[in-house]
Amino acid sequence: MPDASNSDKTIPTNLRLLLLLEEIAQIGEPMTPTAANEVLGLPKPTIHRLFHRLEEEGFLQRDIDGRSYHPGQRLRKMAVNVLSSARVRSMRLSVLNAVARDVGETCNVATPDRDGMMYLDRVETKWPLRIQMQIGSIVPFHCTASGKMYLSTLAPRMVQKFAESAKLERHTPKTLTDPAALLEEIKVIREQGYSIDDEEFMEGMVAIAVPVLDDIGRLMSTLSIHAPIQRGDKEALKEHLGRLQAASKDLSELVLR
């Protein structure tokens, strides 16, 4: 561990704030000041002051346990803005257009937000019968292919906490509203590496999602396609799994290159 007194004197305040945000973003789950300090090696009063300042400014948000913190609205918006830069978005749309053309259905990229998955980009199918969602729309975690895919990448204790505390609102007769059933579904998704929405969010719509990962295997976003059941069921969507997985690697490289 770095020498605390020496670190506090040599690291400028603005850099300390950035290092703390970087550490919380990297760990991918709520972090306590004590855990952060094991990495940064700053005096205890300093680390608590940094957490307090970042919480006040909206860059961090206190978790449900009252002790740990996760990215706040301003930090999440900053991440989305980076992913939405003109260069990245242009290349991302090129990938989405190719997938939509190959599979013949609407293709989406979504990122996790506080209350659900947010549509970052999408390319619509050419079919007149289609489900339209606007970019920026927020959809639930528990009953969408992208949302369940995201949940499957969280630590089991975090998924358990979500299932027990979140309002699992019923959207269709197939929506999983029982915490135990949702946890079992997430376990299956974690093992198979993809997620299915079998008319759980909208009656008459099926979807499949795969993760878009960073260089150490953490989810940055999801790539999904959805279609009305008049053109195929969930088994038909699984036929496009290989194409989606290849495209998800292309999307990862766009951000990481």
Main-chain phi, psi angles of 232, to 5 degrees:
150, 155
Residue 15: pLDDT above 50? yes
Confidence (pLDDT) at 1:
43
Residue 254: pLDDT above 60? yes
- Residue ranges of the alpha helices (H) in the chain? 4-10, 13-27, 33-40, 44-56, 73-83, 86-103, 145-152, 156-165, 179-192, 234-238, 241-256
104 dihedral zone (left: phi>0; alpha: psi -120 to 50; beta): left
Comparing 78 with 151, the larger pLDDT belongs to: 151
Joined together, the tokens standing for residue 226 give 């959805």
Comparing 171 with 18, the larger pLDDT belongs to: 171
Confidence (pLDDT) at 6:
45
Which residues of the chain does CATH 3.30.450.40 include? 84-256
Which residues of the chain does CATH 1.10.10.10 include? 4-76
Q: What is the mean pLDDT of residues 209-221?
A: 89
Report whether 185 contacts 148 (CB < 8 A).
Answer: yes
Confidence (pLDDT) at 114:
79
98-114, pLDDT tens digit by residue? 999 999 999 999 998 87
Cα 19 from chain centre: 22
Residue 129: pLDDT above 90? no
53 dihedral zone (left: phi>0; alpha: psi -120 to 50; beta): alpha
Residue 7: pLDDT above 60? no
Its pTM stands at 0.76
SS3 of residue 159 by DSSP: helix
* Calpha distance 72→55 (Å, rounded): 8
The CATH fold assigned to 4-76 is Arc Repressor Mutant, subunit A (1.10.10)
166-187, pLDDT tens digit by residue? 999 999 999 999 999 999 999 9
Residue 118: pLDDT above 60? yes
The CATH fold assigned to 84-256 is Beta-Lactamase (3.30.450)
Report whether 248 contacts 223 (CB < 8 A).
Answer: yes
What DSSP assignment string belongs to 2-19? --HHHHHHHS-HHHHHHH
Residue 128 CB neighbour total at 10 angstroms = 5
Q: What is the mean pLDDT of residues 71-89?
A: 74
How far apart, in Å, are the Cα atoms of 129 and each of 97, 167, 196? 18, 31, 21
